[in-house]
Structure 1
């Protein structure tokens, strides 16, 4: 069984997988399983009121879990896959616990082959929060992943710059990270 199949097996049993992305190591769990999501909050010692983003494999999966309009679609097609998290209205299929009561959800399409393969093979979104304790150092290497997990996929040293988080409802940058300047220019010059 290869590492992708092992990761899918762990995710299918509400387990936690640490996986490499184009930014940092992420902590993945089945984004439709309350039990798995609660394990992520416990592992990170994260406040339940704080939302957790998800990762999807493509725009079709993103559209299946969120409500996006034409201007959001234009942004998504321009910046994803890549080191950007978009905050968009969540469909009812997304558990409330992930949205922190906001009914919006942060979504990434990682530009990393392993992350995308895991999500594609699992055929559902997974959580996309960093594999560290809340407030801890962003994990660039497997050694810096400080949370309990069932499987770690070693992707070597990663770039380490967090994704830029963009609220596409208000068209504002929530957290500056990779590509922030390029995103600002895009938001300023499009409707």
Structure 2
């Protein structure tokens, strides 16, 4: 089942589509992080201003340097020892769609620990965009049953995994990490 869903989602993402998928936090809307047209489809679906950037997911922290110019050493410890999913906002974003890069040149990155996401990112060989599966301004869905019909109908593919799980999930902790190691919590 997992392999089949990864293969279906991969085909959609490679063709420039957007998917609705389970993550290690809440359900996400995603696409190829290098495809600006697909990124814009997500902004349109969410009715979200492009100034509010979205994050990217990677399957392994050894890929961080492919997408940001420098990674403070502390980042690796934070990722390794974080008890909950952690999104790091890092400076010097590169090799992703300009539509994902904040005005200050940073990007939010989470090393995902979820079998579907890990396998999809490995097969895609690129980061996956991730943003909460809601219309901008509305509450993030706590599980699949909470997702608006508008979102379900607006994506190109809904991953058929974990849809019946009722456990409420929370978004990740977000921390802005400066090149010198200073940090600020954006969301705890």
What TM-score, normalized by structure 1, do the two folds share?
Answer: 0.84
Match of 2:186 in 1: 174
- Structure 1 residues 134, 118: closer, same or farther in 2, change over 3 A? same
Match of 1:72 in 2: 75
- Structure 1 residues 111, 159: closer, same or farther in 2, change over 3 A? farther
SS of alignment partner, residue 2 of structure 1: helix
Gaps of 5+ in 1: 177-191
Contact between 2:93 and 2:101, CA under 8 Å: does it hold in 1? no
Question: Which of 19, 22, 33 is 2:21 aligned to?
Answer: 19
d(CA) in 1 for partners of 2:137, 2:112: 22
d(CA) in 2 for partners of 1:84, 1:159: 17
d(CA) in 2 for partners of 1:76, 1:142: 27
- Alpha-carbon offset, residue 131 of structure 1: 1.1
Count of residue pairs brought into register by the alignment: 175
- Alpha-carbon offset, residue 92 of structure 1: 2.6
Gaps of 5+ in 2: none
The 5 Å alignment of 1:99-138 reads: 99-138=101-140
RMSD: 1.8
Deviates more, 1:110-119 or 1:33-42: 110-119
Match of 2:162 in 1: 155
1:96 aligns with 2:115: no
Map Cα deviations across residues 148-172 of structure 1 (whole Å, 9 max, x no partner). 1111113133542110001111411
d(CA) in 2 for partners of 1:4, 1:108: 19
Which contiguous aligned blocks of 4+ residues in structure 1 show a shift greater than 4 angstroms?
none
Map Cα deviations across residues 5-64 of structure 1 (whole Å, 9 max, x no partner). 010000001101111112100111110011011011011110011111111111122221
